[in-house]
Structure 1
Amino acid sequence: MNPRKTIPAAALLAVTLMVAACGAQDDGTKTGGNAPKQVMMNEQQAIDRAEEIIGQAVDGMSPRPTLERMGPAPVGPCLAHDDHRPDDRVQVTLIYKLTGVPGTQAQHLVRQARDAWLKHGHLNTSGEEGWESDYPSVYMRTKTDDFWMNAVTGVLDRSKKEGIASLKVTSPCFLPPGKASSADPAAFEPQDDDDPAARRALGHSSRIYDALRVGSAPAQPGEGLSRVPGESGTGVHHTWSTPVLSEEERVRVVERAGAYFRGAGWRVRPMPTAEGDPGVVAGHREEHTVAQVVVSATGAVRVAVTTPVDGSESVDV
């Protein structure tokens, strides 16, 4: 299927991160209608809160690990939201490897992180599937301020059941003080669909379209293939929506997306919205492309694909 003919395009502002764990989030709860919630904080407040959540997981760990910061600068552009517009919001992401402990202890550290976060009242969004494996993972969020976090076990030596634990916390999208709610139009540039990165994004979008088997909705205002600069580098973004679907159809569509990504060898994790609607986020292991398929507040399913222009940036999924 040719996405230039069958899929309406729109812009996605996405976070580009290192491959270490998987974490993404919905745009936050709504204050009424389809307007995104305007979370007000500054970057340092968001970083401090993320560090606090990391500390909650680590403070009681035994053996005590050493925290090793991973990834680019913690502040980056916000994920796409339901009104299909770019804006000036950003989000903070912190990723730490837990080092200085035997590799056989990694799974225990991840379990301790989950238990500590549960004691602080945070919500487990990943369930218990695979929890008793040698390489467990957990995905959670805070109730009060909608920070998302995960603890995962990476494989070092499967024969010896050795791994390495990592923790990640991502803030909700927020508007720094003094920023306008809409971006400078010059920051949202039309993208030539003959550009290699654009062809890569459109190709993935087309294959996802075929896998979902529900068609696409008419174009929304502001849609179009775009190149958007960010602190982690420039990315090409392509997004489109299905028609409004029934609840049962939306669940099936997200399940098909997950099955497609897993079959194609992508890294895949659940990405439920703040309202509990289903979604998945996936990262391409070689191209550093990230894709998300998530139920929108409108009752449609939104598909977004982001790929770095030079193909050299890593993504976190």
Structure 2
Amino acid sequence: MALTAVATACGTQQDGGETPKQVTMNEQQAIDRAEEIIHQAVDDMSPKPTLERTGPETIGPCIARDDHGPDDRLQVTLFYKLTGVPGAEARNLVLQARDAWLKQGYKYNSSDKEDMSGPFPWVSMRTEPDDFWMEGITGVLDRTKGEGLATLKVRSPCFLPPGKSSASTAADPAALEEPQADDPARHRALGHSSRIYDALRVGSAPTQPGEGLGTVQDESGTSVHHTWSTEPLPEDEMVRALVRAQAYFQSAGWSVRHVPTREGTPAAVARHPEEGTIAQVAASTTGAVRVAVTTPVNGPASADA
């Protein structure tokens, strides 16, 4: 019998502010569950697409690390293109995936509500109670003809493989006041960092001084603050990553304010409309993209971004 490991949710939160329950799995169980979620979306589709796996390695390091330091936890991610059907069917396939997941009792994380009735919808959802995250995306092939390519993505929660050590507890300035593991605000902050990481599509850098996860307090109250950086990038790649992040915020319904910089590179401050979470994404002088996520501990913040 295969050994199992305790999985901790990788920066997610249940509705109503409850902390996700812990589940047990090993690597194969995580892959099998992700495949099951994909097939729940695809098996009854019409027309029937062909699943073409793409993207990075299936198993990789946990993205939303508790202290953004050394960590042995892993995460399973599956990407599938839905091929073998006309491009005009891409919208229909994404909406069918959404409906199939809703029938399973899965919940919306966010969706492009304004564009859901358009030719290129996008939806983000999560399973309960095991807290897998999935997306249905309509990539644009020919905008004038309404042709696209449907892609499905599933990501597991973070889990610690048998025989591995737990996350590092080495302290840095932000980790000295790290919020409790069961703090819902902590899960929100890490979850948003994970989604921003996905949108940027570049690697993260080792933790820099002052980065990590911690609590901050000012006149508006107490918040959980998570900061991290990408690896240094060439200027053109850095600009593209920032544009992708801004596009993500807009598609997910965040209020986005573009911040001018002397160098002319994109930078943005975004506010989650329900939580009051503030995210800042901007270029640094090193060529890295710096990300800061601040979410209020006791309910939504009152100030706009």
**TM-score scaled by structure 1?**
0.56
Q: Could you tell me which of 205, 223, 239 is aligned with 1:236?
A: 205
* Structure 1 match to 2:161: 176
2 CA distance for matches of 1:263 and 1:296? 27
| 2:175 equivalent to 1:220 | yes
Q: After superposition, what is the alpha-carbon deviation per residue over 1:47-66, rounded to whole angstroms, capped at 9, x for unaligned?
A: 00000000000011111000
Deviation at 1:298, TM superposition (A): 9.2
Q: Could you tell me which of 244, 264, 286 is aligned with 1:266?
A: 244
Q: After superposition, what is the alpha-carbon deviation per residue over 1:109-153, rounded to whole angstroms, capped at 9, x for unaligned?
A: 000000000001000121433211211000000012000000010
2 CA distance for matches of 1:129 and 1:140? 17
Q: What pairs with 1:140-155 in structure 2 (closer than 5 Å)? A: 140-155=125-140
* Structure 1 match to 2:96: 112
* Structure 1 match to 2:150: 165
* Structure 1 match to 2:228: none
Structure 2: 5+ residue stretches without partners: 1-8, 179-200, 224-238, 255-273
Deviation at 1:80, TM superposition (A): 2.9
SS at match of 2:30: helix
Instruction: Give the paired residue count.
Output: 221
Letter in 1 for 2:205: V
Q: CA 1:82–1:296 in 2, change beyond 3 Å: closer, same or farther?
A: farther
1 CA distance for matches of 2:23 and 2:203? 25
Q: What pairs with 1:1-317 in structure 2 (closer than 5 Å)? A: 26-28=10-12, 39-83=23-67, 85-127=69-111, 128-183=113-168, 219-221=174-176, 235-238=204-207, 239-240=211-212, 243-244=216-217, 265-267=243-245, 268-269=248-249, 270=252, 277=275, 278=277, 291=291, 293=293, 295=295
More strand by share: 2
Deviation at 1:28, TM superposition (A): 4.4
- % identical equivalent positions: 50
RMSD: 4.5
SS at match of 1:67: strand
The answer to which structure, 1 or 2, has the higher relative contact order (CA under 8 A, 6+ apart) is 1
Letter in 1 for 2:175: Q
Which runs of at least 4 in structure 1 moved beyond 6 Å after TM superposition? 245-250, 279-284, 287-290, 296-301
Please say which of residues 71-80 and 59-68 is displaced more in the overlay.
71-80
Cα pair 2:20 2:131 within 8 Å, conserved: no
